[in-house]
Amino acid sequence: MSRKIFVVIFILCMVSCPGSLVTPTFLSNDYKKIYKHSVCDPDRSFPQMIILPYFKNATQVVHDCKVYKKYETALALMIFYDHWKSNFGDSNLKVKNALENIMITWGLEKKSMKRAYSINGKKIKNATIIGLTQGNSVIWVWRGKDFKISRSSFAHELVHISLRAINGHGDYDHEGSLREGWTEQHTELIIDVKRALDAFGL
């Protein structure tokens, strides 16, 4: 119950506060008839695709009904965008549009890749990964430690999506020198978003 109250307070603040950074589009109810009936059903086979509320074409693919409830994921997206716009702006709405069309696949197990890059740009061979950006608005995210969005790579992958929307690439080597885009400020943003998600119990 307390989590639901937090969600309501957060949304009301975004609507009523003069300094609100989240655009009203995220609070649109135009698709209520569609997403109202798009719920995870434990009696159906998995994976299941669920439509996320308050976003035009956002969806999540789940392999377990507790990972995650659609309103939790939608709130997490709003929190991320609020932080992004506060730190980097989004005057042409490229980031917002990418989030409006996001498709998130929640994985229950970690994956392996032959090659990946650490946050400081160091190449890692045969890496175990907990997140992957797979397209302009497509991400795979391991469900997170203790089944918490705040303890997953959710915010990390959304930074890749945001940079891809702005620069045409997600900067796969992060703070490394191979590609431009990802800075220390983006890494700090992820930390701040995770703290905010944790504060909301996500």
* Per-residue confidence (pLDDT) for residue 161, from 0 to 100: 98
Under the banding of pLDDT at 50, 70 and 90, the label for residue 142 is very high
The total number of residues written for the chain in this structure: 202
Strands 111-117 and 103-107: unpaired
> pTM for the whole thing?
0.86
- At 199 the three-state DSSP class reads helix
Tokens, residue 117: 């890059």
CA angle 151, 155, 160 (to 5 degrees): 140
Q: Where are the alpha helices (DSSP H) in the chain?
A: 2-16, 32-35, 70-88, 94-100, 154-167, 184-199
* Per-residue confidence (pLDDT) for residue 33, from 0 to 100: 57
CA distances from 23 to 27, 91, 95, 165 (A): 8, 11, 12, 18
Say whether pLDDT at 17 is over 90: no
* Per-residue confidence (pLDDT) for residue 21, from 0 to 100: 45
Contact (Cβ atoms closer than 8 angstroms) between residue 107 and residue 143:
yes
Average pLDDT, the chain: 87
Per-residue pLDDT of 152-191, as tens digits, reads: 999 999 999 999 999 999 999 999 989 999 999 999 999 9
